[in-house]
Structure 1
Amino acid sequence: MILRNFLAIWLWIAGVFALNATEWARQSIYQVLTDRFARTDGSTSAACNTAEYCGGTWRGLINNLDYIKEMGFTAVWISPIVAQIEAAGNQDGDSYHGFWAKDFNSLNSRFGTANDLKDLSDALHTRGMYLMVDIVTNHMAYAGCMSCVDYSTLSPFNSQSNYHSPCSIDYSSQTSIEQCWQGSNNVALADLRTEDSNVRSFFNQWIANIVSTYGIDGLRIDSAKHQETSFWPEFENNAGVFMLGEVYEGDPNKFLPYMGVFPGLLNYPVWYWVQRAFQSTSATVTELVTGLNTMKSGTAQTNYLGSFLENHDQPRMPAWSSQSSDDALIKNALAFTILADGIPVIYQGQEQKLTGGNIPSNREALWRTGFNRQADLYKYIAVLNQFRNTVIFQDQRFTQYQAIPWQVDSHTFALRKGYDGSQVVSVFNNIGSSGSSYSVSLLSSSTGFGANLELVDVIACESHTTSSSGALSFTMGSMPKAFYRKAALAGTGLCPALSGSSTATTAPTTSSSSSGVCTTPSSVAVSFTVKVTTEYGQTVKIVGNHSSLGSWDTTKAITLSASQYTSSNPIWVGTVNLPAGASIQYKFINVASSGTVTWEADPNRTFTVPAACGTTAAAVQGTWQ
């Protein structure tokens, strides 16, 4: 456990060390619907009427974070946190989802207290994970018709003058999209005049306050296209964290302009193409491959888009696939979600193969699965995340490389992502579990692989070697493939029987179609960051009780880098490989050009290196004490 002094440091520096877009591109996000993830009482049998509150809380989430961590996720996206209208018995259901705000200045007490939310942020940060919070600034809610809203019940915008006049949205008009009302005559979503200075001023102060108070690392922006784009630059500046906007639009021509407005967006165009490509074995992959090339044309940065297959607004894949029981289709689509361009976003329950259709059926209570870590898709996602995390650790440029797709045949396509020497070549198809195997050959000119190169398909844990011309030939079945250099897998815990890792442990496999293994690491790359102002000629180092940290010998201390140091953000950073599970004590030291060593104040800092399945990296941040 990291001691309380470290937790306090984290609360203080949450904004200072906020991840930028490049750093968020290296994360993998698990989306939580707070009311449906876990209860404080730990029940795994409590019933849930999906139209009403079911009892999920921030405390319940804290108690089950390792379930998420062990799948290899590095960030958790939670539901909106503000107080909601009470709408039990309403035809549109209750406000358990968090999108029907009543009071922006209060928290949703159904989810817990302010201390619970702070504890959630702390619990994530001690695990080297990040907190993303869903927010809605477009509207407030009233349990009644659009023409009968009692504005006095809303806070702080309690006057009709703060809202646009009620009207139904005409989606052919951008003005109508931005100023007319969402919702229904059961629950009216009163559209705020976000173009007004008083409304903007409140939101700019509000977002700065909640980010700093609760240690928030990123924001998901609901209904992003329903507000004028001029609202967002100042709001983003006040937030000081990465924003992932929801622009519910499948047409790239209408979607791509928003990439110049938000740091990141949920990739709805690709979601539509993936849905059509993997919904049945009779579909083709042509539209998907063509679309991927369209999305990366020009200056579009697809690496900052959220790559998803399911979410709380859409039917789950088993509900929209005409062959819902076909695991091969699901696993191909999942592998694409995690290995393609963008930030993977997995919605709670995908790992348990939940099958809910339209709202609210797709918002099932996860606790009723018993948080089963032996579920086939749980282990499958863990392997994919572990693989992606490993590649990123070995070459952080991986997420900045825009993947190159090409079509092999009407049912098969390949994807090369990564620079020479660290590229991953993935192959996907939609032939389904009953499809017949066939031969595939990929040329070196497409993959970038050299002659006689030993590779491993990390999904099946099978060895392959390229030909003298660099061609990669293999038999393709119904499962996807992900090829990577065999030599680079040594010691990672991935496919240990092939990569030569002697310390990895293998997770149980439940079926012959399960892919790979989820393993505990032998070592973890721990990134240390310290905020400290230095003068010319001074160097900041880290020294500690482990040999990798110099065994308290300052002459063997690890030198940190000032490559990211600025006068406004004076940070020194460095990465050290440490044994998984080790209890570390350490301090930062300032070494002058004369050799004089200045130690920071007592007590020693402490850190326990994580050892959870799939862990390859961790981050520790602090300020000079």
Structure 2
Amino acid sequence: MVLDRFAKSGEEAKDTSFCSKTADWTYNTGGGYCGGTIQGITEKLDYIQGMGFDCVWITPVVHSNSYMGYDAHNLFEINPSFGTKEDLQQLSDSLHERNMCLVVDIVLNHMRSLFVNQKLNISSVVPFNDPSYYHQRDRKEGQSFEDYVKSGPPPAFDGSKDSRNLKELTEKGHARCGPENWEQTECACFPGNSGVNCPSYNAQQQVEGWFGSLGDLNHSHPFVREQLLKYVSGLVKDYHIDGFRLDTAIYIDKGFLSEVQDAAGVEILGEATVNNLTYQSFLMRGEREERVLSGLLNFPPFYQVPEAFCGYIMGGDFGDYSAQGTWKKRPNMKGLGLVMSNQQDSAYENSDLLGNFVDNHDEFARIAHYCKFDQQRIRHALTWVMFTQGIPIVYYGTEQSLSGHQTKVNNPGQDALRESMWQTGYDTTAPLYRFLAQLNKVRKSLQMGTGESDVKNYDSHSMIFTRDAKGGQKAWVFVNNMANSTAGGIRYCPGPLPGIEGQAWHNALSGASMERHLADGCFEAPDQEPKVLHLQQMEDSPLAWRL
């Protein structure tokens, strides 16, 4: 959740008016605060736990320039806009008392912008207040550090030229890209794409390049490494953090990532905005079998989700983003099915530690917007994220149908997806709040926290996959992208074989028996809602055979 936007505390909590401020990214003065606090989250734990969630993931708590916290200027202080060290300790303690866990977002690639109001401002950055702590790739001889930053250091990555080249190659039949190619699941040159398809890729520049004027840390400097490791291990020691989400992980030297993982001693999910499954898997276990990070945010299937369930164009092929934020005539599940199938055949260290999601705070739109508020399609997408192998991640406000999105005109950028939550009243009767609670209940009752997944079949409008469940059984998950206005049943092939010796297949989401809908190796679902079928003794269910 975006800490500044989830819940206020004290007298400020009485003001429930909507807030969606933007930070200053032009002169890099930051700001954009709406008033959310750490204490506010602690006071809303009943609301979060009521949906059945086990962990709370918050954006960075460090003293930073803007409300998002990804531009720190003091790593060792809590942002006073969010609260105090005691507040963070209380949140951690309160979660642990509930047998829940705390995941905190950390940024180790960069600090805040070093160029504020058109002037170099480095002296107040703690602890990295010297130019030697930052990468200076392509700095000219005799050039001042201020002029170097002002003129613009080389970017960490820019695949636009290669993406245009990729388009020409594919049109001529000299290159292949898309969901069927597990080393380039998107038709664009992302970090990790190299060779003929993307010849300009430079892995070293990816590490040494900057994000605009954000101070890119030089991890080869002993002091930088020492202080960052101190910061990470200190968070675990002082606040008993249970896990981290590591921002911009792919722009950090992998050798240092291994050190961070060892120093943390807890699971780390690295942000890996990539479309190459081989490259992605090497971020968990490297080419030389060295351990890198324990987990990753799972972007390759996410890139397919908006089109799969709702026909929405979240990105842009070959670097052309002119259609971004629009809809295709029909949604199509094939791309998602292909990526999932390829991913289960790839050599991941631990697929249970891939974090799956349907939207987040960085992309072009929340799910309520890109699915046009179609509750049925949203339910199917949430069923997918809750039952596919890995860690399900649900963005705050999804349960209240928050619909933040970027636009083509007067685009507020990513800030548009980071709206306040308090205006919803934290309604526990909201349909998606109750549905998420139901999904979590089923996931736990079937003991599907870990375990393998197997994609059985997919086509343009549906997908079937199984998941390991309690007792060594397989649960069958059936999702589709039918619109809410459509009626009637839907045929899925294959389906489970009918139960024997007093056993029957039931829909875990309703308790109803599905036995008489299984025939000829297929499942004739009586309606178009998502289904999770599990096998149980008929006498074990009060709803046995009741349809």
TM-score by length of 2: 0.76
Residue aligning to 1:138: 109
Letter in 2 for 1:264: G
Partner of residue 33, structure 1? 2
For 1:368 and 1:67, the matched residues in 2 are separated by 15
* Distance in 1 of aligned mates of 2:499 and 2:472: 9
Partner of 1:360: 415
Count, aligned residues: 444
1:148 and 1:177, CA in 2 relative to 1: closer, same or farther beyond 3 A? farther
Matched, 1:334 2:382: yes
State the 1:478 CA deviation: 3.0
CA distance in 2, matches of 1:157, 1:468: 64
Given candidates 304, 327, 340, the residue that maps to 1:273 is 304
User: Which residue of the other structure, out of 283, 304, 307, is the alignment partner of 2:353?
Assistant: 304
Aligned-partner residue type, residue 498 of structure 1: L
Q: Deviations over 1:298-325 (max 9, x none)?
A: 322322100111111123444662x512
Q: 1:271 to 1:152 in 2, by over 3 A?
A: same
1:232-290 per-residue CA deviation (whole Å, 9 max, x = no partner) reads 12221111111010011133243232132211101100101112211237122112111
Secondary structure of residue in 1 paired with 2:155 = coil
User: 8 Å contact 2:478–2:531 — kept in the other structure?
Assistant: yes
Q: For residue 190 of structure 1, what is the aligned residue in structure 2?
A: 215
Letter in structure 1 aligned against 2:77: S
| Other-structure match for 1:264 | 295
What is the CA–CA distance in structure 2 between the aligned matches of 1:49 and 1:316, rounded to whole Å? 14
Which ranges of structure 2 fall in alignment gaps of 5 or more residues?
23-31, 137-152, 159-200, 286-291, 312-328, 407-413
Q: 1:421 to 1:205 in 2, by over 3 A?
A: closer
1:106 counterpart SS class: strand
Alignment-derived partner of residue 51 in structure 2: 71
C-alpha contact (below 8 Å) 2:344/2:454 kept by paired residues: no
1:179 is aligned to 2:227: no
Alpha-carbon distance between aligned partners in 2 of 1:207 and 1:33, rounded to the nearest angstrom: 20
1:45 aligns with 2:16: yes
**Aligned-partner Cα distance in 2 for 1:168–1:468:** 56
Deviation at 1:368, TM superposition (A): 0.9
- Distance verdict in 2 for CA 1:486–1:156, change over 3 Å: same
The whole-number CA distance in structure 2 between the counterparts of 1:122 and 1:468 is: 48
Contact map agreement 2:278 2:346 (CA 8 A) in 1: no
Aligned to 1:455: 505
Report the AA paired with residue 141 of structure 1. Answer: R
* 1:559 alignment counterpart: none
Q: Is the 8 A contact 2:505 2:534 kept in 1?
A: yes
Q: TM-score, normalised by structure 1?
A: 0.67
Q: Does 1:200 align with 2:212?
A: no
Question: Does 2:477 align with 1:422?
Answer: no
Q: Where do 1:237-252 residues align within 5 Å?
A: 237-252=262-277
Q: Distance in 2 between matches of 1:146 and 1:248?
A: 30
3-state DSSP of counterpart to 2:479: strand
The CA deviation at 1:412 is: 1.2
SS in 2 for 1:413: strand
Q: Secondary structure at the match of 2:478?
A: strand
**Greater strand share, 1 or 2?**
1
Tell me if the contact between 2:399 and 2:436 (Cα under 8 Å) persists in the aligned partners.
yes
| Deviation (angstroms), 1:435 | 2.5
Per-residue deviation, 1:328: 1.3
Q: After TM superposition, give the deviation of residue 405 of structure 1 in Å.
A: 1.1
Judge which range, 308-317 or 212-221, deviates more: 308-317
Q: Rate the CA distance shift 1:488–1:314 in 2: closer, same or farther, 3 A.
A: farther
Correspondences of 1:446-525 after superposition (within 5 Å): 447=496, 450-451=499-500, 453-465=503-515, 471=521, 473-487=523-537, 498=543
- Distance (whole Å) between structure 1 residues aligned to residue 498 and residue 135 of structure 2: 58
* Structure 2 counterparts to residues 14-29 of structure 1, below 5 A: none
301-310 or 403-412: bigger deviation = 403-412
Counterpart residue identity of residue 37, structure 1: F
Q: After TM superposition, give the deviation of residue 34 of structure 1 in Å.
A: 0.8
Distance in 2, matches of 1:499 and 1:39, equals 46
Q: Deviation at 1:44?
A: 5.8
1:356 positional shift: 0.2
Provide Cα deviations, 1:509-542, integer angstroms capped at 9, x if missing partner: xxxxxxx9xxxxxxxxxxxxxxxxxxxxxxxxxx
Alignment root-mean-square deviation, CA: 2.6
Q: 1:264, 1:44 → 2: CA distance?
A: 39
For the Cα contact (< 8 Å) 2:244–2:269, is it kept in 1?
Answer: yes
Q: Distance in 2 between matches of 1:385 and 1:238?
A: 32
- The correspondence for 1:380, drawn from 406, 430, 435, is 435
Where does residue 413 of structure 1 map in the other structure?
Answer: 463
Which sections of structure 1, spanning at least 5 residues, go unmatched? 1-31, 86-94, 393-397, 491-495, 501-515, 517-625
Seen in structure 2, the aligned counterparts of structure 1 residues 153 and 316 have a Cα distance that, compared at 3 Å, is same
Q: Which residue of 2 aligns with 1:57?
A: 37
* Cα separation, 2, equivalents of 1:101 and 1:212: 20
* CA deviation profile, 1:104-141 (whole Å, cap 9, x unmatched): 12111111111111000000000010000000011111
Q: 1:125 to 1:488 in 2, by over 3 A?
A: farther
Given that 2:18 and 2:422 are in contact with CA atoms closer than 8 Å, whether structure 1 keeps it comes out as no
Whole-angstrom CA distance in 1 between matches of 2:539 and 2:267 = 32
- Using a 3 Å threshold, how does the CA distance of structure 1 residues 203 and 468 change in structure 2: closer, same or farther? closer
Counterpart of 2:474, as a letter, is Q
Cα deviation for residue 50 of structure 1 reads: 2.4
Separation of aligned partners in 1, 2:280 and 2:80:
36
Q: d(CA) in 1 for partners of 2:236 and 2:444?
A: 26
Distance 1:125 1:489 in 2: 37
1:386-405 correspondence to structure 2 within 5 Å: 386-392=441-447, 398-405=448-455
Question: Are residues 168 and 62 of structure 1, via their aligned partners in 2, closer, same or farther at CA, if it must alter by over 3 Å?
Answer: same
Structure 1 position 65, deviation (Å): 0.4
Say yes or no: does 1:123 pair with 2:94.
yes
1:450–1:469 CA contact under 8 A, matched in 2? no
> Residues 252, 275 of structure 1: CA spacing in aligned structure 2 closer, same or farther, 3 A cutoff?
farther
The one-letter amino acid of 1:410's match is: S
Residue of structure 2 in register with 1:161 after alignment: 132
- 1:440 match: 491
| Alpha-carbon spacing, 1:410–1:116, altered in 2? closer, same or farther (3 Å) | same
Question: Once the 2 structures are TM-superposed, how far is the Cα of residue 145 of structure 1 from its aligned partner?
Answer: 5.9
